[in-house]
Amino acid sequence: MRLLVRRGLARTPDEAVESLAKREAILSTGIGGGVAAPHAQLDGLGGIMIAASTHPDGLDYPTLDGKPVLVTFCLLAGAGVRTQHLAALARIARLARHSGAVEHLAAARDGEDFVVRLARLEGGL
């Protein structure tokens, strides 16, 4: 979140966190299948920023299917990119339904390995 402040896209790190918490309070973004996709709009952001985290032991998170979260994709999007925002969420949901994909991503050794695994999965979806 500090990166957003350094780039002038948020006034404070808390601004992005508050936006995510406000959206999460409306309805949990634990979409199931081991995936959570907290997302929010942030004024001033000209595109979409996505951060991912893995939780191989499972993260306790309110999900639609009640199962622990193995991978979290956090999306922040500007108001002018609603179509891309929705498309990104749809791709994440599709990934969650792909057999073995979430477990494969959760087993990544580091960020670089995660990106390689995700790229390979994206090519097969």
Q: Which residues are catalytic?
A: 39
Residue of 52, 51, 122 lying closest to 91 (CA atoms): 122
> Tokens 């032991």 sit at which residue?
57
Closest CA to 51 of 38, 41, 63: 38
d(CA 15, CA 33) in angstroms, rounded, equals 29
